[in-house]
Amino acid sequence: MKILLAIALLALGFPPHLPAQPATDTALQPLTADQRAALQQIDQRDVTAAISFLASDELQGRGTATPGLETAGAYVASRFRAAGLDGPGDDADSFYQSETLAMIRTPSQGVVLEDADGRAMDHFGLYAAGDQALEFIGEVAKVDAEREDQQFDGPVVMPLDTGMSGLRLRLNVANRVRSLRQQGATAVLLRVAQDHPLVDMAAANRAQVRLPSRRVDSQIPVLLVPDDDNWPVPQRLELPAREEPVQVVNNVIGILHGSDVELSQQAIIFSAHLDHLGSRKNASDDSIYNGADDNASGVTGVLELADAFAALPTAPKRTMIFVAFWGEERGLLGSKFLVENPIWPLGKVVANINLEMIGRPEAGANGKAWMTGWEHSDLGELMRVGAERVDVDVFEHPQFSNRLYRASDNWPFVQAGVIAHSFSAGSLHNDYHQPTDEWEKLDLRHMTIVIRGLFAGSLPIADGQLTPRKAGLDD
Ligand SMILES: [Zn+2]
């Protein structure tokens, strides 16, 4: 409601009312010698080392619930350990907040399909498996597309019209399977040509474990069979149940406790998502989605900020929490999990500073960063004033600041009432979400400068000199 009100006021031409910040009225002091020394911890050699590892082919695109993401998480934990941070739980040396996921895999073996004479029949594989194994002897019923009143009591065979692809195809299949299930079908044999896109998808479903999705959950098995007039109606069918391996995923969290008795109860959360899209079969030779800009760059920023804050001879007055999330690309899952299972009281989080894609500047924006959701709080303005001291501009992006406010891990925090924004220093370039998002294409000098800017920008908040405020609130 407050956000809607602020938008409404903006639309009417009223600037949101921001309470005065005493310290921004007078210029901030320049960085102290200690702060300048800590700033030097953020250097291009460290940035190069971190990002060239995180975005390497060896990590296989850091897909959620893959060994590549686990290795990346172990690396982040090792960096937090080296910086002298504490873990979030009772065991101060464990930097993981773990969650257990049930994953779905379609079995690659166990399909039996026979004609009336007991001869094995061709098929193109299982597209989706059901909750339970199915055994059926008898004639598989044909679906008559002209009739909507058919009832079934066993598997059915149905032709699939072509002409659809991608998500539309998947949704169409899911909807038709759902209605056949409601009519009593216990499995669907889909008749498709051998070059139909579903055949490739069936192969991919076997090879990958997937997060459970509402679209395919508790559906009945779907087997792909040839669209051939000579193909007889099967008499015997055995389908294996889907497998549900358990996978552990981790948010990696390091804490630098504040040095002031009172203010140390308040925290700033610096975060970035560690996961990316993993590796996939695709048309090009390169199947690894390295996610260098998205978002090995942001994680590298968080690691460098942790080093810099930890290098101060006295820790900042407020507590600094550094987080690398899993599952952002699967729907902000890691940040949602943290917000639902907070390791710090959310009412005591003064800001979430989330880093997203800081490695590839737009023309004219080298060494500059922009913040999403600019008008929803004065955090951007406070960061701008602090970062200006090291000649880094923090600005409101005319196209993206609004559009991307809800598009990253800051959003679950916003929904929980926390001032939370993403800082970016790039653009939606052609390599976005492509296997070509490689670290060699980043501007590492720009990245280093921007991380230094975010450090200088957040220091006055870390030390309690400045406190961000939501827009549209009266004093
Ligand atoms: Zn991202």
Rank 170-184, 219-233, 406-420 by mean pLDDT and report only the highest: 406-420
Give the residues across from 355 on adjacent strands: 423
pLDDT at position 9, please?
37
Q: Token pair for residue 423? A: 């800082």
Per-residue pLDDT of 442-457, as tens digits, reads 999 999 999 999 999 9
100 close to 247: Cβ distance less than 8 angstroms: yes
* 136 and 79 housed in the same domain: no
Choose the weakest-confidence range: 106-115, 289-298, 338-347: 106-115
pLDDT tens profile 306-315: 999 999 999 9
pLDDT, residue 17, reads: 43
What is the distance between the alpha carbons of residues 300 and 304, in angstroms, rounded to a whole number? 6
**Residue 305 exposure: Cα atoms within 13 Å on the Cβ side:** 34
Rounded to an integer, the average pLDDT of 309-332 is 97
Classify residue 474: in a domain, yes or no.
Answer: no
331 and 261 share one domain = yes
Asked whether residue 467 is assigned to any structural domain, the reply reads: no
Q: Rounded to whole angstroms, how far apart are CA atoms 356 and 363? A: 18
Residue 277 CA to ligand 1 centre (angstroms): 10
pLDDT tens digit sequence for 60-71: 999 998 999 999
Determine which of 193-202, 231-240, 251-260, 286-295 has the lowest per-residue pLDDT on average.
Answer: 193-202
The CATH number of residue 204's host domain is 3.50.30
- Residues whose Cβ atom is located within 5 A of ion ligand 1: 294-295, 356
Rounded to the nearest angstrom, the distance between the alpha carbon of 458 and the centre of ligand 1 is 21
Same domain as 339, residue 253: yes
Report the range of poorest mean pLDDT among 144-153, 349-358, 410-419: 144-153
* End-to-end alpha carbon distance in the chain: 18
Quote the pLDDT of residue 202: 85
The pLDDT score that the predictor gives to residue 2 is 33
Residue 135: phi and psi, rounded to 5, are: -125, 135
415: containing domain: 2-101+247-462
Higher pLDDT, 2 or 42: 42
With a pLDDT cut of 70, the percent of the chain lying above it is 90
Q: In a 3-state reduction of DSSP, which class is residue 411? A: helix
Query: What distance in angstroms lies between residue 314's CA and the mean position of ligand 1's atoms?
Result: 33
For 331, residues 6+ apart whose C-beta sits below 8 A from its C-beta are none
Q: Is the pLDDT of residue 219 over 90?
A: no
Residue 201 has pLDDT above 70, yes or no: yes
pLDDT given at position 205: 74
Position 414 scores a pLDDT of 98
Ligand 1 center from residue 133 Cα (angstroms): 38
As a whole number of angstroms, the distance between CA 131 and CA 206 comes to 15
What's the gap in Å between 292 CA and the centre of ligand 1? 10
Amino acid at residue number 219: Q
Which residue bears the tokens 């961000």? 468
SS3 for 278-307, per residue? CECCCCCCCCECCCHHHHHHHHHHHHHHHH
Residues 52-95: pLDDT tens digits?
999 999 999 999 989 999 999 999 999 999 999 999 988 877 99
Average pLDDT, stretch 224-231? 90
Residues whose CB falls within 8 Å of the CB of residue 231, separated by 6 or more in sequence, listed in order: 121, 122, 191, 225
Residue whose pair of structure tokens reads 């450090």 in the numeric block: 455
Instruction: Tell me how far the alpha carbon of residue 348 lies from the centroid of ligand 1, in angstroms.
Output: 26
Predicted pLDDT of residue 286: 79
Q: In what order do the strands lie in the sheet with 267-273?
A: 96-102, 246-256, 319-325, 267-273, 349-355, 420-424, 368-371, 393-396
C-alpha 295 – ligand 1 centre gap (Å): 5
The answer on pLDDT for 146 being more than 90 is no
Is 294 domain-assigned? yes
Domain count of the fold of the chain: 2
Q: Could you tell me if 235 and 252 lie in one domain? A: no
CA of 395 from ligand 1 middle (Å) equals: 19
Query: Same domain for 190 and 207?
Result: yes
- Say which residue, 9 or 173, is predicted with more confidence: 173
Q: Assign 343 to helix, strand or coil.
A: coil
Determine the pLDDT at residue 347: 98
Radius of gyration from C-alpha coordinates of the chain: 27
329 C-alpha to ligand 1 centroid (Å):
7
Decide if 468 is inside a domain.
no
**70-84, 172-186, 227-241: which is most confident:** 70-84
**What is the DSSP code (8-state) at residue 439?**
G
Contact 422, 408 (CB under 8 A): yes
Query: 175 preceded by cis ω (within 30°)?
Result: no
* Residues 148 and 297 placed together within one structural domain of the fold: no
- End-of-domain residue from the set 217, 239, 261: 239
Residue 83 alpha carbon to ligand 1 centre in Å: 25
CA of 293 to the centre of ligand 1 (A): 8
Over 80: is that where the pLDDT of 210 sits?
no
**Same structural domain, 140 and 272:** no
448/455 Cα distance (integer angstroms)? 11
On whether the CB atoms of residues 346 and 394 are closer than 8 A, the answer is: no
d(CA 144, CA 157): 9
User: Is 300's pLDDT higher than 90?
Assistant: yes
Phi and psi torsions of 335, nearest 5°:
-70, -35
pLDDT value, residue 140: 93
Helix (H) or strand (E) holding 189: strand 185-192
Q: How far is the CA of 409 from the centre of ligand 1 (A)?
A: 9
Dist. CA 241 → ligand 1 center (Å): 35
Which pLDDT does position 282 carry in this prediction?
62
210, 239, 268 - which closes a domain: 239
Q: Is the pLDDT of residue 3 over 90?
A: no
Is 469 part of a structural domain of the chain?
no
What is the arithmetic mean of pLDDT over 197-221? 72
39 CB-near residues (< 8 Å, 6+ apart)? 31, 308, 390, 452, 455, 456
Which of 239, 265, 296 is at the close of a domain? 239
Same domain, 196 and 123: yes
In angstroms, what is the span from residue 237 Cα to ligand 1's centroid? 44
The answer to whether position 106 is within a domain reads no
Cα of 461 to ligand 1 centre, how many Å?
A: 25
Mean pLDDT score, 153-176? 84
* Residue that wins the pLDDT comparison between 11 and 191: 191
Q: Average pLDDT over the chain, rounded to whole?
A: 89
Same domain (yes/no): 330, 397: yes
- Decide if pLDDT at 4 tops 50: no
Same domain, yes or no: 61 and 80:
yes
Residue 473 inside a domain? The answer is no
Tell me the CA–centroid distance for residue 34 and ligand 1, in Å.
33
For residue 238, the CA-to-ligand 1 centroid distance in Å is 42
- How far CA 47 is from CA of 50, 322, 331, 357, in Å, comes to 5, 17, 27, 14
**Alpha carbon of 433 to ligand 1 centroid (Å):** 9
The pLDDT of residue 218: 55
Using the predicted structure, report yes or no on whether residue 214 has a pLDDT greater than 60: no
Q: Are residues 202 and 234 in the same domain?
A: yes
Average pLDDT on 259-277 reads 98
In a domain, 107, yes or no: no
- The CATH number of whichever domain residue 20 belongs to comes to 3.40.630.10
In a shared domain, residues 419 and 301: yes
